[in-house]
Structure formats: structure tokens, C-alpha cells
Structure 1
Amino acid sequence: MSVFNSLMQNTVDYAVLGGSSKLSAILLTHPFQVVRARMQQRPGADGTPRYLDSWHVVKESFRYEGFRAFYKGITPTILKSVPTSSITFLVYENVLKLLKLASRD
């Protein structure tokens, strides 16, 4: 019973730490993902690219859509990645703890 209590003691902490670290990473890097995705758009009907370079993407996106342009599509990313990261971190830490307990015996 003590092994179970030992594992459950920090489970919520591990889940929160894993999820919050992923959320922070997404909030910091999502604008770069938007710029990358817009750079990869197909050219217009006349064959010219819509954007010339990354800086052009930033200027045009901000000009026509404002600051929100850089966070378009962030909701599905958060809904997919935060729980996954939370569970991964939780499992990793608990398996590590179990292995340490098993090696002591």
C-alpha cells in the first residue's frame, strides 16, 4: 500500500507540470508555426507566391489581421498537445519512481 500512496502523492503535480510546460511552449512557439504554414501556401493563380519571405508574412498578417493572426488555430493544438504531454510526463515520472523503488529491494 505504501508504494501506491507514494506514486499517487505527486501524480496531480506531475500532470499539472507536464501540461503547463507544454502550454507555455505552445504559446511561445505558435506564432512561428503560423508564419511557417503561411510561407508554405500555394502560389496565386498567376504563379507568384503570396509572401516573399518570413518578414513579409509577419508584416502582412499583422497589417490585415492584427495580433490575433499569429494565434489562429491554437485551440486544436492545445487540446491535442497539453493532455498528451501531461500524461506522458505523469507516466514517465511514475515509472521512474517505480524503478527506483524496485532497485532498492
Structure 2
Amino acid sequence: MADRSIEIEVVYAAVDDQALISLQVPVGTTVTQAIEMSGIAVRFPGVDFSQCPVGIFAKLVDSPAEYVMQAGDRIEVYRPLLADPKEVRRLRAAKAAQARKTR
């Protein structure tokens, strides 16, 4: 019997470059294995993909080494935030409040 494989995608977006890699993986491949098979680390050598959070169609995967890929899954590798969105909003609101006071 021939080995069965499924088609999946691995996506990653850096600040100045994006990658969408389609590949065939054996049935039973985990998220971690699929990321390694994709070769994405070669394209983005400065990124430690073992430390990046990942999701499948925007749903966070808690255990990438245990999640088994399904046909058609798209792994989304998330880069760390440069700034906390709540902090950015707080600073923007404070700046707007200060601008209103100086009018």
C-alpha cells in the first residue's frame, strides 16, 4: 500500500516579507514536524520558529508537537508583538487628552 499524504500550507508574515508554502506531508504529521518540513526556517533564518505561537486557521494550537495535521489545514506562524496593543491605546488616549487640554 502506498504511503498516504495530505496537502497543507504553512504561512508566516515578517514585517517586510510574507511566505505561503504549500506542501504534501505524510498522514500523522504534527504541526511542529510540518513547520520543519516546510523549510521556512531557511527563508527566515533570524526567526526561532520553535518559540513562535502557531494557529490553524486563526485558532491557537496549544501543543504543536501533538496536534496532528488534517488535509487542507493552514498553519499560521505568529511573530511576537512589538508593543502591547493595550499599552499603545492607553498612550494614544493620554496623548489625545493632553492635546485637548492645551487647546
**What TM-score comes out, normalization by structure 1 length?**
0.31
**What TM-score comes out, normalization by structure 2 length?**
0.32
The structure where strand makes up a greater share of residues is 2
The structure having more radius of gyration, on CA atoms, is 1
The structure where helix makes up a greater share of residues is 1
Higher relative contact order (CA 8 A, sep 6+): 1
